[in-house]
Chains A and B, each alone.
Chain A
Amino acid sequence: VTARTTHLDAGVRDAMRALSAAAKEGLGDPALAELVQIRAAQLNHCAFCLDLHLKVARKHGVSETQLDRLSAWEEADDTFDARERAALALTESVTLLTESSVPDEVYERAAAHFDAPRLAHLIGLIAAINSWNRLMVSRRIPAGSTAW
């Protein structure tokens, strides 16, 4: 696979980095942030993003079992705790906006596990990874590429 284009405006790149950094900082849970970002990248089919976030997840000590079962987290309730499950459910519905809105039960479940500032940052993180997914898939940036 070769990239369609590796061009990206420096201002866009800086803004995206600021968005992700702010969201991750405010969420304050690096391992969970990686689970969220990997799950969104799975739904959006972003090879570059999956490659990158799987590496970062392992660096943060996310277990191989969690990574193996992430795409079937609803069937793996012994592998993900209630807080992780609430975050993953929110990730899926905020990513799948074209299919439905964000249901009250999904939102309320997340609000029960995350205080308002953390919830706002979690939504920010989901929006940020969705943005990276779009920037990378559209330009067809290959997994592992350093030119993007």
Chain B
Amino acid sequence: MTTHDTAHVPVHDSANTTAQTSDHGAPAGTGRAAEQAPRLHWPKLAPDVYKAMFQLETASRQGLDPVLLELVRLRTSQLNHCAYCLDMHTKDALAAGESTQRIVQLSAWRESRHFYTEKELAALELAESVTLLTEGFVPDEVYERAAAHFDETELVQLIAAITAINAWNRFNVAARTVPGRYQPGDFS
């Protein structure tokens, strides 16, 4: 068992709901919708799978710039509509010093290129095409643009990191993991 197996299971009992703030759930009197319950406590039900996911996470981030990595995770989580992942990676990016502006502009990065480096732009474009596999292949020009900014080892790690966040997105959307309570450091 890694420390991650017991450190945090992102499912909370009803007692915690009394301590809600505006960050999550529906504080009394705000008129907000009620918080949806998670469907499945997947880390507890499939601890072997959870452990392998952390293995993939650890291996795939090796050699990658953490700032670039958070941008890629955020953009991928936007495309896959993973609320829990957006909550987590927005908080992680802010805690690591990322600017609000770059996070806010991320879903329109093609229109706000001057907020990002050419290397980040190439990574974002690759992340989009590797995420949108059902719509088509990863075009040669996208791959080549990324290959111009990342050496082969780094490029394959980037592909692995895009793959890993896509997998996390799938687990947390399918299990409907509740967004809002994550705090940076919960998994470290």
Contacts and interface: CB of A to CB of B under 8 A. Distances in A.
B50 to A, nearest CB: 9
Nearest to A95: B134
B149 interface: no
B143 A4 contact: yes
B160 A8 contact: yes
A8 to B, nearest CB: 6
Contact of B53 (A12, A19, A46, A126): A19
Contact of B40 (A7, A19, A116): A116
Nearest to B169: A97
9 contacts: A7-B153, A9-B62, A12-B160, A14-B55, A98-B79, A98-B81, A107-B174, A116-B45, A127-B167
Q: Lowest 8 CB-CB distances: which A-B pairs, in order?
A: A11-B59, A120-B45, A22-B48, A15-B55, A19-B52, A15-B56, A124-B49, A120-B46
Interface of B: 39-42, 45-46, 48-49, 51-53, 55-56, 58-60, 62, 79-82, 126, 130-138, 143, 152-153, 155-157, 159-160, 162-164, 166-167, 169-171, 173-176
A101 B130 contact: no
B45 A12 contact: no
B39 A130 contact: no
Contact of A102 (B48, B59, B155, B173): B173
Query: Main SS of chain A's interface residues?
Result: helix
Contact of A94 (B39, B45, B49, B170): B170
Interface residues of A, number: 51
A123 interface: yes
A121 B156 contact: no
B78 to A, nearest CB: 10
B52 A18 contact: yes
A23 interface: yes
Query: Main SS of chain B's interface residues?
Result: helix
Interface string A23-57: 10110000000000000000111100000000000
A143 B101 CA distance: 43
A22 B49 contact: yes
A45 B137 contact: yes
Interface of A: 4-5, 7-9, 11-12, 14-16, 18-19, 21-23, 25-26, 43-46, 90, 94-99, 101-102, 107, 111, 116-117, 119-121, 123-124, 126-128, 130-131, 133-135, 137-140
A32 B130 CA distance: 26
Contact of B159 (A16, A107, A127, A134): A134
A94 B46 contact: no
Contacts of A101: 81, 173
A140 B152 CA distance: 14
Given A18-B52, A19-B56, A124-B171, A97 B160 contact: no
A18 B60 CA distance: 14
